[in-house]
Amino acid sequence: MPNEALIVVDMQNDFCEGGALAVPGANGILPLVNRLIGRHDHVILTQDWHPAGHASFASAWADAVPFSTVKFPYGPQTLWPDHCVQGTSGADFHPGLEATKAQMIVRKGFHTGIDSYSAFRENDRMTRTGLDGYLKARGFTRLIICGLALDYCVAWTAIDGRQAGFDIAVVVEATAALDLEGSRRRMLTEMRQGGINLNATA
């Protein structure tokens, strides 16, 4: 469909098996993600792209541990293991990803003091990536979303895309979740309540 684009979220080494912030089941969704890429004429990839010492890394805080929460100027922020550091192999796309078809790569999380889950705007909810303008300028009205992790970057990309006026479908079977303290179920509920189609298939 000429008005439809596929967004593949953060299929990077650090989020896959053996990575610094591995999402359970991430490697298993690669065939489904690649099948979706093969079916779409317009493909966009997102890429977590943190500078070393990013404020969302637990290592940047004295005595902090990964997956704890601290208060940032924009609200509560989960602290993560160091991951997807710019220029490292962990930040590269998984070698099995059919990435050559991508027409655009959106890098996010490169502002040292702001974490970024959504491909549309960062966690301060003010700093925008410009993706919505790009999509609208090209005439896309419907977005299909897959990738990692369902309960963080996929969900926030879907929610923000819906708020930006796009028709959104998340291919849940082509995602995997961290599922921290029930985050998978919680974000599925938020997406469903936000008018996002969760029944699309790969």
Query: Which pLDDT belongs to residue 201?
Result: 83
Catalytic site residue 146? no
Q: What percent of the chain has pLDDT over 70?
A: 100
Catalytic site residue 124? no
Outline where DSSP puts E strands in the chain.
4-9, 43-48, 69-72, 75-78, 104-108, 142-148, 167-176
Q: Which of 175, 159, 146 is nearest to 118 (CA)?
A: 159
Angle in degrees, CA 97, 169, 45, rounded to 5 = 30
Burial of 81 (0-12, 13-18, 19+ CB in 10 A): middle
Confidence of residue 200 (pLDDT cuts 50, 70, 90): confident
Residue 1 has pLDDT above 80, yes or no: no
Q: Active-site residue among 115, 146, 153, 160?
A: 153
Q: Active-site residue among 14, 16, 108, 132?
A: 108
**Domain spanning 4-178: CATH superfamily:** Isochorismatase-like (3.40.50.850)
Domain locations in the chain?
Answer: 4-178
CA 48 – CA 23 distance, rounded (Å): 14
Query: Which pLDDT belongs to residue 91?
Result: 98
Residue 202 has pLDDT above 70, yes or no: no
Q: What is the pTM of this model?
A: 0.96
Catalytic site residue 160? no
